[in-house]
Amino acid sequence: MEHLININHPKQARNWQSIWRVEVPMKVRNFLWHVCRDALPTRARLQFHGVNYLAICLLCGDNIEDVWHLLLGFFCAQ
């Protein structure tokens, strides 16, 4: 999944057809699409859009809560 999450260029052009062709339930494809577009409501994203939140992860208190941290970097995600 790491190759899907590009924190440097989250909205660069991607081959969306590869996500929509995966043989998984539609809700999983929809989730993957949101992950790849960095469109999940993480604390960092909400703060970026003006919501009054600290971007720090409440579970570990150590890192910024973004898509990468929630899905790959957080010790409980592994």
- Cα–Cα dist 61/31, whole Å: 25
> In whole angstroms, how far apart are CA 13 and each of 9, 47, 56, 65, 72?
9, 25, 29, 24, 22
| CB contact at 8 A, 61 and 53 | no
Structure tokens at 49: 């859009």
Which residue would you say has higher pLDDT here, 31 or 5?
31
Domain range list for the chain = 16-77
Looking at residue 71, what is its pLDDT?
81
Task: Kindly state the average pLDDT of the residues 19-31.
Answer: 89
pLDDT for residue 13: 53
Q: The tokens of 34 are what?
A: 């949101």
